[in-house]
Chain A
Amino acid sequence: MFGPFIALLRRDLLLAFRHRGELANPLLFFALVITLFPLGVSPEPALLRKMAPGVIWIAALLSALFSLENMFRSDFDDGAMEQMALSPCPLPALVLAKILAHWLVSGLPMLLMAPVLALLLSMPDTAILTLVFTLLIGTPLLSLIGAIGVALTVGLKRGGVLLTLLILPLYIPILIFATQAVTAAAAGLPVEGQLYFLAALLTLGLTLAPLASAAALRISLN
């Protein structure tokens, strides 16, 4: 089971590397939204500091949504998904490899860029650390939950709007807990509660999302 998992992960990363132009789009979007806020709203540090957690997290969420569509699309269109569904390797394991690849090329770069952008919004140091933690737990969750929605809509011609409607409500709890944690950290309050809750959601997502996505993909292939 590990052989196919690693092989697929390598293949997806290689494909992402050969399409690096497309890869930069969601990341650019993430950076642009955040840098436009001081220009568009107000350069007042106190106000920016107050809005920073929400702004960064909303940008991360939208940028994830933006990059999700392509997770299964090309494999579905060229028949590679059929080959995976028919291979002896369990489909949930292969789906997990694809989700991991998606996170590595979309979630991880955001995670690395976030501290710099947080400084731009004059976020205090303690809050930046918490922000990185929430992104570390939260962005894989965005990919995992998104995968279920993409798997359900990949068979449809124009699934984009439906995808947004399906998964945005599921993203709301992540947004609330993550921004609350960062706001609390900025105010010097304990944040363990929110982080534990996010971690619990991540565990749930890691165990259930691959199974649900694999089942949805089989329905889409039928």
Chain B
Amino acid sequence: MTSPPPLLRASALECQRGESLLFSDIHLELSAGQLLQVGGANGTGKTSLLRILAGLGRPVEGEVFWRNENIQTNREHYAAEMAYMGHHLGLKAELTVMENLRFGMALYDKPKADTGWQQSLTRVGLSHLQHLPVRTLSAGQRQRVALARLLATEALLWILDEPFTALDVHGIDLVQALLDEHAGRGGMAVITSHQPVTLERTLLQLSLG
């Protein structure tokens, strides 16, 4: 079977934390419509790998390419098509859900009249909370707001670090459905998770440590 050319490609990644080697010689390739789960025990460098793939961390060795361009030197092309959700969600507690989402979209240079955030908020089931400050929401609800922001940016590549942590059963189903839809549209995702993920699409696996 011939697969489409990979959009995201990482070669010979090596990462150190302090004196110890977390991982080395990691190769990965991801093409449109593919989803990848990074597995491994605690402390094996899953988050570090995701931060390197997002361009936040720098590997000791190796490079990450997006559409055959190095992501460190062509940051802006990559950033326009990638969205990252880490342990810290990046929501301002003092701003309302709506203000947070609008700012998230403004960072991706979406026009102010764009109401994509409303559809995304409805999709994650929080449209009734749009005027509440984020500080009044529960951890799971905040996670959902971050997911709404992810949808509103319309990024092609999602990099999600533990997207299931604070979510209830319905929330977990929601993320799984979102991942399936995203891949169905040709989107890609790299996720870490400790729990089994059940998707209709195939979930590629990469195990660290």
Contact = CB atoms under 8 A, between A and B. Distances in A.
Interface of A: 1, 3-4, 6-8, 11, 14-15, 18-19, 74, 77-90, 221-222
Given A3-B109, A82-B90, A86-B79, A14 B95 contact: yes
A90 B58 CA distance: 18
B64 interface: no
Interface in B49-94: 54-58, 76, 79-80, 82-84, 86-94
A102 B55 CA distance: 27
A15 B106 contact: no
B23 interface: no
A88 B95 contact: no
Contacts of A86: 54-56, 79, 82-84
B45 interface: no
Contacts of A7: 102-103, 106-107
Contacts, number: 79
Given A4-B107, A86-B84, A87-B79, A80 B92 contact: yes
Contact of B56 (A11, A87, A88, A222): A222
A79 B109 contact: no
Contacts of A83: 84, 90, 104, 107
Interface residues of B, number: 31
A219 to B, nearest CB: 9
A82 B86 contact: yes
B89 A79 contact: yes
22 contacts: A3-B112, A7-B106, A8-B103, A11-B95, A11-B103, A15-B92, A74-B92, A78-B90, A79-B87, A79-B90, A80-B90, A80-B91, A82-B88, A83-B90, A86-B79, A86-B82, A87-B79, A88-B80, A88-B109, A89-B109, A222-B56, A222-B58
A146 B33 CA distance: 45
- Main secondary structure, interface of A, reads helix
Given A79-B89, A88-B80, A222-B56, 20 more contacts: A4-B109, A7-B106, A74-B92, A77-B88, A78-B90, A78-B91, A79-B87, A79-B91, A80-B90, A84-B107, A86-B54, A86-B56, A86-B83, A87-B108, A88-B76, A88-B107, A88-B108, A88-B109, A89-B107, A221-B56
A15 B88 contact: no
Given A11-B95, A88-B108, A78 B56 contact: no
A168 to B, nearest CB: 31
Contacts of B162: none
